[in-house]
């Protein structure tokens, strides 16, 4: 097997085209969220735009979250006086239509209605306030953190990743992280991948991906990461907790062993696996064989 060709095929299979059903559904919901926020904050004109992987070019089909900013002007207090007020008021507004799961700086939207209760909609809303009239840097509230706020810059983040030259490696590492439930924040993983690959001049995608795993396996305890938008001000090292380092090390070790024993397809699976690809006949046949074997009935206590 040509490893690079296989990995490029994996990347192609993970690409979400703009006219894909998944993105259309996401964009439809984004439109709903934007409409809700603009209605709730009529007096303001919050900056609502794509952040995250959509803006960085690192989206993967397997985990296609949409990050949306909701940034208020530096002199706008209609959404709240403090950053915490803004965070809570945006949360309250979203709760009119969604179940909201608060995260460190963002608000995750889940289904509220009975038939979709608790279902993840893959949208994070990031409330914030610009630091000044230039509207480049922004303050975000940190929920439950020692430091109440952090200062960052969306455009710096987007360009740091988008223009790194390593978006393919990042996408594969993201897929690996998602598939193996590695508990590392995506943007920290992105920064780590860029930092690690910038130390080496590896051109082949298979070499890049494998090198990153080797570093996770061998140097998990000493990895460091800086926020390119605020390297001295934002301590991202706190996000590389002992548990995260342990997981990176263990999962990378397991993956390298799998790669050694069974090859790339054992790590990333066959190209083109999807719900659509699986035939109704195959599903029925699988169910029939399990019916014959006496599969147990599910039950809710």
Partner 1 sequence: MERFPSLHVFEEEGGIVVRGTFPLELDDGTIPERFHIRVTIPETYPKGVPIVCETAARIPRISDRHMGSDGSACLFVPEEYVLRNPGGQTIVEFLVGPVRDYFLAQLFFEKTGAWPFGQRPHGPEGRREFYKELLGLTDPSLARPYLAAIEAKQLKGHWPCPCGSSKRIRQCHRRELQELRNRVPRELAQEGLRLI
Decide: is 115 part of the binding site for partner 1 (CB under 8 A): yes
Decide: is 120 part of the binding site for partner 1 (CB under 8 A): yes
Decide: is 181 part of the binding site for partner 1 (CB under 8 A): yes
Decide: is 143 part of the binding site for partner 1 (CB under 8 A): no
Decide: is 247 part of the binding site for partner 1 (CB under 8 A): yes
What is the total count of residues that contact partner 1 (CB under 8 A)?
49
Residue ranges in 144-163 that form contacts with partner 1 under rule CB under 8 A: none
Decide: is 242 part of the binding site for partner 1 (CB under 8 A): no
- Residue 184 CB, nearest distance to partner 1 (Å)? 13
CA 52 to CA 34: how far, in whole Å? 16
Q: Which lies closer to partner 1 via its Cβ, residue 38 or residue 179?
A: 179
Decide: is 222 part of the binding site for partner 1 (CB under 8 A): no
Q: CA torsion 141→107→225→247, rounded to 10°? A: 140
Decide: is 258 part of the binding site for partner 1 (CB under 8 A): yes
Decide: is 19 part of the binding site for partner 1 (CB under 8 A): no
Q: Which lies closer to partner 1 via its Cβ, residue 7 or residue 194?
A: 7
Residues that bind partner 1 (CB under 8 A): 62, 110-111, 114-120, 178-181, 246-247, 250-251, 254-255, 258, 261-262, 266-267, 269-270, 273-275, 277-280, 282-283, 285-287, 289-291, 295-301
């Amino acid at each position: 097997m040509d490893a690079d060709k296989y990995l490029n095929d994996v990347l192609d299979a993970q690409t979400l085209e703009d006219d894909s059903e998944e993105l259309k559904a996401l964009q439809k919901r984004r439109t709903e969220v934007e409409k809700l926020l603009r209605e709730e904050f009529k007096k303001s004109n919050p900056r609502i735009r794509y952040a995250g992987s959509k803006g960085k070019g690192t989206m993967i089909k397997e985990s296609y979250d949409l990050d949306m900013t909701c940034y208020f002007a530096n002199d706008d207090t209609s959404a709240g006086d403090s950053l915490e007020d803004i965070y809570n008021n945006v949360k309250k507004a979203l709760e009119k239509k969604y179940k909201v799961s608060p995260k460190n700086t963002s608000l995750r939207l889940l289904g509220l209605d009975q038939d979709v209760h608790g279902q993840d909609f893959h949208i994070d809303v990031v409330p914030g306030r610009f630091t000044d009239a230039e509207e480049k840097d922004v303050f975000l509230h940190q929920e439950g953190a020692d430091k109440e706020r952090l200062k960052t810059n969306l455009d710096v983040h987007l360009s740091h990743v988008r223009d790194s030259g390593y978006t393919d490696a990042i996408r594969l590492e993201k897929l690996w992280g998602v598939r193996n439930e590695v508990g590392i924040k995506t943007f920290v993983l992105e920064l780590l991948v860029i930092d690690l690959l910038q130390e080496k001049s590896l051109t082949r995608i298979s070499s890049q991906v494998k090198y990153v795993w080797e570093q996770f396996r061998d140097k998990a305890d000493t990895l460091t990461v800086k926020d390119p938008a605020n390297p001295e001000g934002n301590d991202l090292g706190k996000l590389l907790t002992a548990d995260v380092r342990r997981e990176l090390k263990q999962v990378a070790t397991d993956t390298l062993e799998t790669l050694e024993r069974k090859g790339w397809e054992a790590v990333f699976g066959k190209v083109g696996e999807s719900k659509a690809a699986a035939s109704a006949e195959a599903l029925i046949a699988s169910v029939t064989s399990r019916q014959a074997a006496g599969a147990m009935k599910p039950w809710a206590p």
